[in-house]
Each structure stands twice: as C-alpha cells, then as structure tokens.
Chains A and B, each alone.
Chain A
Amino acid sequence: MATATKKKLVQWGPAEVKSALLEKYPPKVARKRAKQIMINEAQQNETPELTANVRTIPGIITMRGCTYAGCKGVIMGPTRDIVNLVHGPIGCSFYAWLTRRNQTDAGPDGENYMNYCFSTDMQEQDIIFGGEKKLAQAIQEAYDLFHPKSIAVFATCPVGLIGDDIHTVSKNMKEKFGDCNVYAFSCEGYKGVSQSAGHHIANNQVFRHLVGQNDEVKPGKYKINLLGEYNIGGDGFEIDRIFKKCGITCISTFSGNSTYDQFASSHTADLNAVMCHRSINYVADMMETKYGIPWVKVNFIGAKATAKSLRKIAGYFGEKALIDRVEAVIAEEMPEVEAALAEITPRTEGKTAMMFVGGSRAHHYKELFDELKMKTISAGYEFGHQDDYEGRQVLPNIQVDADSRNIEEIEVSADETRFKPRKSDKEMKALEKAGYRFKHYDGLAADMDKGTLIIDDLNQYEAEKLVELMKPDIFCAGVKEKYSIQKLGVPMKQLHSYDSGGPYAGFQGAVNFYKEIDRMVNSKVWGFMKAPWQKNPQLSASYNWE
C-alpha cells in the first residue's frame, strides 16, 4: 500500500534535523530553542544537558497550558466527591468541564460531582470591588444544595491580581460548616511556565488539607497508594482490576476516580507507587518525610512494564504469598497479550513513532511502541523538568530559576505521633542491595536510542517540520496538534485524552493499544488522499465511449 508517509526519500541525520528546525527562527528564539533540543547520548549525566521547564516563547504556538489546568484540570479534576469550585470568570471552569475523560464510578455512596461544572462566574463589579463575598456566597450555595464532604476552591488569573483572599474565605466557611472541609488553591494561570506549576500547587494543598485527615485503619493487606494515575479512559479501573487479582490493597489513587476519604487515609498505606513522576513526586516526597512511607516509580503502561511494576510492589512487601500470587496473575494475563502481539507486530514492526506529550507519558508510552516493535525516533514532554528527561540524579544540579522559586516548597518534618518507618534501615538496605531503588527515576533519555531527538516544549512549527523531514508512521500529542498532523497524512494519536479510546494501562489496556495503533498505521484512509485524476494528471490516451 503506497502512502505518502512511507516514501522516505531523504534520510536526515539528527544534527541536520535540529538545524532545520531552528533555521527560520529569529536569532534569540533559535538560541533558546537550541538548548531545548537534544541529540540523545543516552548517558546518565550528573548535570542536565537539556534545558526544560523554562518559559514559553511568546508568539510561538505552544502545546502548553496553564497552571490552573495543571492544578484543577489534572490533579483535582478526577476526584468525584469533592465539589471543585472555580473562582473566576466563566471560561476556566467551562473548558475544564468533562474534557479530560477522567472516568468515575460513583460506587455505593453514590456521590459524584464529576459531571458538574461549578463557577463563581465573576463579573466586572467583582473584579473592581473584589470577589470574596461572591465566593463565600457560592460556597454557601454549594453546601446548601449538595452537602458535600469537601469543597475545593480554585483561583483563576484575575483572582490573584485583585487580591481576593481565597484561603481565608475557605477557612471561614470550613469553620462555619463544621462538617465540610473547604480549602483553596492559588493556581492562577500565570503562576508558572506550564501546567507543571499547577501540579506542584495541587500537591502542596492536598498534602496540607487532605492527607492525614482520617487515621482509621482500612482493612486489607499490602497497602499502597497509586500516585499520578488519573483514570483517563478507564486506565485506573484496569489497574484496580489487576491489584484486586493480586491481592494488593489500593488505599488511594491520586487522583483517578478518587474520593475525599482516599486522600484523607492515604497516610495509612505502606508504599507509594508513583506513576506520573512529574505531576505527583512532590507529595510522595512529603509523605515519606512526614509519615515514613517510601516511594518507588512504577509504570503500568505496557504489558512488560506492568509485570515489572507488580513484581516491584511484591518485592517490596517481600512475602512469598504475594510474590507467588503476582507471578500467577502475570502468567494468567500474558498469553492474551502475547497472542495479540503475535497477530499485530508483523503489521507494525519497523514502523516509527514520535511522542510529545505530558511530563511522563512520552516515556511510558514508549514501552507500548517497543512491544509493537516500533521505533520511537523523537520524543519530548510538554511540561517535563530536567529530571524527567535525564533522571533524578541531576536534581542537585538543576538551576532553580525565578519562575520555579515562585512556587511554594512546603517545609515538612516527621509527624510526632504518626511517623512510622515502613521498613527498618536494615530491611531497606537489603532491598537496595537486591537492586531495589527508592525515590529513583532514570528519565526518558536513558530509554531512548542514541541519536534520537529529544525535544522539550515542541511547538506547532517544529512538529510540522519534524513530520515533514522524518516522516514518522504515527505521531502522538494532544487534541490541538491532532488535525494539523493528520492533514499531512500522518495518523495522530492523542495521548492526553486517548481519542475517546482506552484503557491503555495494564494487560488489557496494552492489548487495546496494540489494536488501536494497528488500526491507525494501517488504515486504508491514508491511501485516499489523492483522487485518481490527481495521481495521474496527464492523459496518456484519448478516452472514448465505446
């Protein structure tokens, strides 16, 4: 099948591609972008090579969103029994209304506000005279209507500028109600260089106002929290299914299909398993310091990665019953995965992919493309930091700029009564000796081939250029990027919202993803782009009606 995407007439080297990407920019822009484009050496640097988490260049069409999007949209959005009230003009709440595909299941308590959109809809007079009274009244109205356990307030740009004290308003309302926890997030859109600042702000307030509110010990063995899993397209449901099968008790998920009580009880778990390193590592660190819960990086995207992560969790608890159970589950789940791969890989092997998404996703999804025997020729994050690219060992050497300093770092110390090391020093040492690595993440670069291009904060112009020069078989990013790439005749998979698909996590999710990529890279539609008369414009013989 001859499609435009398969004609690789020119083989470009990474250095040539890099200079082609920079060619058109004004000199200042080119210098800045050059530092955010790295030809991968796949080395474990101590000092970061690539610049990341820096300001977006005004006027350059970026994929990034704002701090509010990272806080309300990403972290708090998926919680189902908290009334998420946005304080600001109407747009911010409207755009974050059901658009991220966080699936929820109301469960036996039946409380679920996910399908609702709450806003104070600030008007001109609120901007001029202040919006605190309106906010207090809106909180009151939400309380009277729904009697939720908790109301979370989110600031949008003008709130910070006019100086509304949303924290005091929330505190007062919390005291007034007595049975409803009200707290606020100063996540104005301009607070950081990307969504990432919003994640950090959300982590801080979740830790401050939610974690540790309920000391009641939950039943079950092998208790963990799953951090940084947002149940897009039902990913969390698939992971929950696997945990249940293995006998692992998930006390809380931050924050797919989560509840207030899950956050409140999360400090009773014995291990934090971190999925999305970028968005949630802060709270993992703070919980370790305050409550003594260690954290490990896991990844449930990719069948092999899922198996590896389950073994990691089982290894931590170290009990034979769990280790055996996990092995049995893996053995039970893998045949279906292998059968799907055996059928599909002949059609995907050797094809190429590009991924520019999120702050961990581009790394996670590489696993799935590896399983399909597809090569990831270029990748990067929208809002990742240097440790997400090159590993946490670069952390001490990251230069903290003014934008990052702007985001509060909470001082945490061990809780006087509730700090409890989950493992003794000896046990931790033994685990580490056995190759077990806590608080550890190698980053994307280590997993990418040498000579591939790693690009931070890729923009529309560069995306188009990359596709034109390197002609990947599939490109992955977000909804804004989808159709400009597809107009070029290259299938584009959304890895934020999954194009209404999913789940892609776990074993069943992996199979879904293999089928989806097979569908996309082998679709007949890419062969229809030219009409017969466009393919053969010259008439070679006269056409007669005979």
Chain B
Amino acid sequence: MLLRHTPKEITERTALTINPAKTCQPIGAMYAALGIHGCLPHSHGSQGCCAYHRSALTRHYKEPISASTSSFTEGASVFGGQANMLQAINNIFTVYNPEVIAIHTTCLSETIGDDLPQIKKKAVAEGKVPEGRYLISASTPSYAGSHVTGFSNMVKAMAGMAEPTGKKNGKVNIIPGWVEPADMEEIKRITKMIGVKTILFPDTSGVLNGPLSGEYKMFPEGGTTVAELQSTGDSKGTLALGEWCSADAARELDKKHKVPCSVLDMPFGLKATDRFIDALRTIAGVSIPEEIAHERGQLVDMISDMHQYLYGKKVALVGDPDQLIAMTEFLVSMDMKPIHIVTGTPGKKFEKRIKELTKDMGCEVNVKAAGDMFLLHQWIKNEPVDLIIGNTYCKYIARDEDIPYVRWGFPILDRQGHQYFPTVGYKGGIRLLEKILGVLLDRKDRDDAESKFELVL
C-alpha cells in the first residue's frame, strides 16, 4: 500500500496538513503572467521558489517555463531586497528584453515587507525600464490563500494595465481563470463562432502548448498583448469565469474604469456552459449560431445514451474551488453523486455553494475548504466511491483503494492531453464524459464475471 499509514478513523487536526490539496500563491501568479505576450514572470524571493514553480509548471505542461528570481541571500533578507530587484530588472531587460516583467512576491519578501510599488518607481526613475517596456506586480504572500489566490492577484495586476481612451472598443473582456491553454483556445473558438469580439486574459494558448520546430522562442507567439490589456478599459463589459480566479480583476475594471462585469462559473459541463453562452449572447446582442446548439445537443445526446452507467455513481473530487463548483454541478446534472469534495483553498463560500448544488441529491455530502487529501482519503475509506476526479496525486489513493480515476485539474504530472484537448464548453463536456465513461466501463469490463462480460455497452 502506498498510503499505508492513513487510518480509517478520522481525528481532528488543527495544525498539521497532510497531503495538501493546494500549493502557494506565487506559482499561480507565475502561470497567469505566462499568459501575457512577451512577459517574463519574476519571483521576488529566494531562488528556490522560482526553481520549484518552474519545475512544477514544466512537469505539468512539458514546455519551457522561463522565469527569473531576485535570488535573495541572508543579506537581502535582512536589509531588504530592493538592490536585488533593481539589479534583476536591469539584467532582465539587457539579456532577455521582455515586453513586460510581471513581478510577484513570496513569503520571504512579504515577511520582510519589501514595497514593490516603490521599487518599481525607483527602477523607472533610474532609467532601468526601457521605453515601451512595462513592470507589473502582484502581492502574493504564500501564507495566505492558495495558488488560486496568487493567480487571481496577478490577473488583477493585468487588469491594472488598462488605460481607457474614452472610446469604446466594442469588445468583451473574458477572464477565463486558471484553465488549460487548450481551454483558452476553446473559449476563443466559441466566441469567434458566436461573433463576439473579445479580449481574453490571461491567454496561455500558444505559449504553453507550442510546437517542436527546431527553434526555441523564449517569448512564443501566444499571450494577451500589452495593447489588448491596455484596451480592456475600453471594453463594453467583462465576463469573469470563476469567483476565485477571475472576479477580483473584473471588479477592478468595473470599479476603476466603469467596465461592467458579470461573474459566472467556469464553463465546465452542460449548465455552466449554457450560462456562459447565454451571457455572451446578451452582452454582445447576437444570436447564437446553430453550430453551437448542435454541439450542445451532442453533449446532451451522449449523456442520455450512457445515462445508465452514470446514474447514482458516487464520486470523490479534489481540486480548486471554481473547477469543483462547475464539476459538481455537471456530475449532479447527470444524476451522479459527488459525495466527498475537498479543496485546499480556504473559503466558507465554497462549502456553501457545494451544499446548494448537492442539496437535492438525497445523500450526505462531505465538503471541506482548506482541507487536504489525507482527509479525502479517510472519507473514501469510510464511504467508498466509484470514481475519483482530481490531480495526479490522486493516483496514490486510486491505486490503494482500487478506484477508477480521471485526471483533471492541476497538477497533472503523469499523463498527456490536457494542453491540447479542452474540457470547457460543450465539446469539452463531451471529452470529460468520454474520460469518465472510459474509466467506469474499463472497470466494468475488468470486474464482470465471464458470463456477464458484454460486447456491446
């Protein structure tokens, strides 16, 4: 047994986290910043943070992740990191010449109280930032929130680049949240089909799912451009997908530049996608093309065709709040039973929302924000499930308990496809369903007695 020391009996823990269902803020800020075209994320802290985040993102995307660090030593930790940061800015523009340096803090620089806005000002005053180049920054203390919070904070900093001209650009801002590059691409495909002009930010498509061509571009073609980010203040409105990932940035644009916003769930599964498409229709004042209705119908068709294998199946979920809310709704809509749901990200709102979504399911639901995967495993030991959906760390539980398992979320370190095949939208729903059915039916084929073994399912 891989997790042989996990007891079935649940005891209260107030100080010890075991097998976390989250990581720290800076990695989220780094991922978000990679969705700006020509941007180098910069970690203001000791160099291990940057090394760890780059490694984790590299393992997930199997793509180069460039990011720099202030490389604090003891001296900088005592006297402050300003000198390191200024030196870093100068070196970065000289050697790598990005259009934007997106700086995020760490627990180290937050604890000693480095003042990034002040350091940025000094860098500009000292002429360390060339003409047409930008510094943006986000405060991302690792001891608050989670990687999701860090992502949200950097997206908010991106919204801070808005420079309204007073002339509307006729576009809709879409903030997709922490989804895969493939999902961002899919959102663009959908909005294009509908005929809505958008500014999608961040946009990691074309950055973290690049080709092998014999050429290495430190700053690939993809990403939201600085011009687009500046133009977000002239957009007619903002659709923020996900309360945890995207709402803060949208509200910032609303508050500062009167760009109205709607916060929606991430468009995973049928109903959340319905709401997303309908919101696009209303905001842009367009009618939805038949192709979209066709894709929707295909998803509904697949659910009805295979409903018998989904009905009543118990599911354990672990991941990030926005993703889990949409997934829970999707599973419930197919008459499945998500009964154990854990996120490491704090927020009582999450528990409340999940309770609402599952209230008519007719069974007890375990849900915890600021929980961990050790607890999830204990819940599973107490009430077994038919399916686990979550990141790669779930495979230890899945193998020990012999439970079918679908990889979804962050990080996925041992399978491929998440960069290339979306799970948002109706098409994405079909892919999710294909994956879920795949593992459930593989299990049935493995376990059925020979006499019950079926050709047609």
* Interface positions of A (Cβ within 8 A of B): 4, 24-26, 29, 55-69, 85, 88-99, 106, 110-113, 115-124, 126-127, 134-135, 137-138, 140-142, 144-146, 156-158, 160-162, 188-194, 402-403, 406, 460-461, 464, 478-480, 482-489, 525, 529-530
Contacts and interface: CB of A to CB of B under 8 A. Distances in A.
Nearest to A525: B212
Interface stretch (B83-91, B274-282, B288-296): B83-91
Contacts of A156: 107
B267 interface: no
Given A29-B91, A94-B24, A95-B52, 13 more contacts: A60-B68, A65-B47, A66-B51, A95-B55, A110-B4, A112-B4, A115-B3, A120-B16, A127-B111, A189-B47, A190-B72, A190-B77, A525-B212
Interface of B: 2-5, 7, 11, 13-20, 22-27, 42, 45-49, 51-56, 58-59, 62-77, 84-85, 87-92, 94-96, 106-108, 111-112, 141-144, 146, 210, 212-218, 344, 374, 393, 396
A189 B55 contact: no
B142 to A, nearest CB: 4
A69 B84 CA distance: 21
A91 B344 CA distance: 12
B91 A142 contact: no
B62 A90 contact: no
Contact of B46 (A90, A157, A482): A157
B16 A118 contact: yes
A138 B17 CA distance: 8
A137 B73 contact: no
Contact of B47 (A56, A89, A95, A106): A56
Contact of A145 (B11, B71, B88, B218): B11
Nearest to B108: A157
A487 B24 CA distance: 29
Contact of B16 (A56, A111, A138): A138
A90 B17 contact: yes
B390 to A, nearest CB: 15
Contacts of A486: 212
Nearest to B94: A26
Contacts of A144: 11
A123 B94 CA distance: 38
A115 B396 contact: yes
B397 to A, nearest CB: 10
B353 to A, nearest CB: 22
A461 B16 contact: no
A161 B15 contact: no
Nearest to A135: B15
18 contacts: A25-B91, A56-B69, A59-B88, A61-B68, A64-B47, A67-B46, A90-B142, A119-B16, A138-B15, A145-B11, A157-B107, A189-B47, A189-B48, A190-B73, A402-B75, A478-B55, A487-B216, A530-B213
Query: What are the nearest 8 A-B pairs in CB distance?
Result: A66-B48, A91-B24, A59-B88, A59-B91, A137-B15, A89-B142, A95-B52, A189-B46
B22 A90 contact: yes
B108 A487 contact: no
B52 A65 contact: yes
B290 to A, nearest CB: 34
Given A68-B48, A93-B20, A115-B2, A99 B107 contact: no
Contacts of B56: 95, 99
A119 B20 contact: yes
B107 A117 contact: no
A162 B108 CA distance: 10
A488 B13 CA distance: 49
A479 B215 CA distance: 19
B42 A134 contact: no
Given A66-B51, A116-B18, A126-B143, A99 B74 contact: no
Given A116-B3, A161-B77, A483-B63, A529 B111 contact: no
B20 A121 contact: yes
A69 B48 contact: yes
